[in-house]
Amino acid sequence: MAYRLDIKRILSMNFFHDLPQIMLGCALAAIATDLFLIPNGLAAGGVTGLATIIQAVGAARGVSLPVGIQTIVMNALLLLVVMREGGMFYVVQTATGFVLLGFFTDLFAPFVAPLADADLMLPAMWGGIITGIGYGMVLRAGANTGGSDTIGQIISRNTSLPVGSTVMAIDVAVCALSAPVFSIENALYAGLSMVISGYVIDAVVDGGNKRRMVLIISDKFPDIAADIMYGLGRGCTKFKATGMYSGAEKPVIMVIVSRRELNTLKTIVRERDPHAIVTVADVTEAFGEGFKDISA
C-alpha cells in the first residue's frame, strides 16, 4: 500500500512540475487555432475541428457557439466513458489539457486578428506547425488534450481496430465533413494542416532524443566492440545467440547511437567485417550514462 502511495506522490509532483509547460502548450495551440484555423474554415481533425464546423453552421443561423466551450463539453462527455479504465490520474491529466485548451481558445479569440485575404496554404502550414508545437509540449509533459485519442480508445475497446488507425480515420472524417460547410479546397488544406501538425508533434515529443539501436552479428565481434568502445566512445553489450539452421553460437553486439554516429558505426563494421549482419531500429529515447539523465 505504501508503495502505491509513493508512486502516486511522484506522479503528482511531476504533474505540478510540468503544469507551466502544459499551460504554455495549450496557449500556443489555442492562439494558432484562433489565428490560422478557425477564421479560415480549416477544420483540421479532432474535437476542435468538429467544433469549428458546428460554430460555422451555428453562425449561419445566427447562433453563437464558441469553439472552446464546445471542445470542453464534448471532451468531458467522452472522458466520462473512459475514466474507469484510465484511473484518476489519467482523468486529471486529460481534463487539465482539454479545459486549458478550450479556455485559452475562447479567451484569445477576441484579441487575435486573423490574416486578411491570405491564401489557404499559409494558414494551413503555420496553423499545423504552431498547433503541433503546442500539442507536442502538452504530450511531452505527460498530459493530453483528449479529442480523437479518447474517441479512438472508446472504439478500439469495443472493436478489434487499433487506436492509431482509428484516430487517423476520425481526423480524416472530420476534415471530409468540413467540405460541405466550407469547401472541398478548405477540407484539403485542413488535411494538410493536420498532417503537418502530426509530424511536428512527433518531433517535439521526441525532442531530438531519437536514437538508433543497432544489433551486429559478426565473428569479428571483439574488434568491432573495441572500435565502438574506444573509437566511437560508446558502450555496448554482448548477447549470446544461436543460429537456428546451423546450431552454432553467434555473439550479438547491441549498441545505441545517435543518428550522426550511425554512419561512423556502419564504417567500423564494414571495415572489420563486410559480411556482418546489422539491423537498425529507432529508439524514441535513451537514458543513462552517455545519454539523457532519467530524472530530466
- Residue 291 covered by a domain: no
Domain endpoint, select from 151, 180, 206: 206
**Residue 43, C-alpha cell as written in the block:** 477544420
168 and 44 co-located in one domain: yes
| Contact present, 31 and 137 (Cβ < 8 Å) | no
pLDDT tens digits, 40-82? 999 988 899 999 999 999 999 999 999 999 999 999 988 887 6
**Residue 49: closest CA among 227, 218, 186, 160:** 186
Compute the C-alpha angle 194/197/201, nearest 5°: 140
Q: Note the residue count of the chain.
A: 296
Pairwise CA distance, residues 222 & 117, whole Å: 65
Of the pLDDT bands very low, low, confident and very high (cuts 50, 70, 90), residue 228 is: confident
CATH number for 247: 3.30.70.120
C-alpha dihedral sign at 127, 133, 136, 137: negative
Q: Is 191 part of any domain?
A: yes
Average pLDDT over residues 204-231: 83
Let me know if residue 266 belongs to a domain.
yes
Residues 224 and 174 in one domain: no
C-alpha grid cell, residue 39: 477564421
Digit-coded pLDDT (tens) for 181-203: 999 999 999 999 999 988 888 78
Read off the pLDDT band of 7 (50, 70, 90). very low
Q: Indicate whether 65 and 197 sit together in one domain.
A: yes
Q: Are residues 22 and 152 in the same domain?
A: yes
- Domain holding 27, by residue range, is 2-206
Give yes or no: residues 108 and 225 share one domain: no
More confident position, 26 or 95 = 26
Q: Distance between terminal CA atoms of the chain?
A: 27
Long-range contacts for 87-94 (Cβ within 8 Å, ≥24 apart)? 89/8, 89/11, 89/12, 89/15, 92/15, 93/15, 93/142, 93/143, 93/144, 94/143, 94/144, 94/145, 94/146, 94/150
> Are 23 and 108 in the same domain?
yes
Among the three residues 206, 234, 261, which one is the final residue of a domain in this structure? 206
For residues 86-102, give the mean pLDDT. 79
Rounded Cα gap, residues 275 and 277, in angstroms: 7
The per-residue pLDDT for 258 is 78
* Residues 170, 242 within the same domain: no
Note whether 94 and 149 are same-domain residues. Answer: yes
Each residue's pLDDT tens digit, 240-259: 888 777 778 888 999 988 77
Span 104-154, pLDDT tens digits: 999 999 988 877 666 889 999 999 999 999 988 888 787 788 887 777 767
> Has residue 296 been placed in a domain?
no
288 within a domain of the structure (yes/no) = no
- For residues 200 and 235, state if they share a domain: no
User: Last residue of some domain: 155, 182, 206?
Assistant: 206
Answer yes or no: is 294 within a domain.
no
Does the reported pTM lie above 0.75? no
Are both 93 and 130 inside the same structural domain? Answer: yes
233 CB neighbour count, 10 Å cutoff: 9
The answer to whether residue 197 sits within a structural domain is: yes
Q: How many domains does the chain have?
A: 2
User: 218 and 158 share a domain?
Assistant: no
In 10 A of CB 170, how many CB atoms? 21
Q: Is the CB of residue 219 less than 8 Å from the CB of residue 294?
A: no
C-alpha cell at 171: 481526423
Question: Residues 59-83, buried b or exposed e (16+ Cβ, 10 A)?
Answer: eeeeeeeebbbbbbebbeebbeebe
Q: In this structure, is residue 260 part of a structural domain?
A: yes
Residues 262 and 136 occupy one common structural domain: no
Q: Rounded to whole angstroms, how far apart are CA atoms 52 and 3?
A: 45
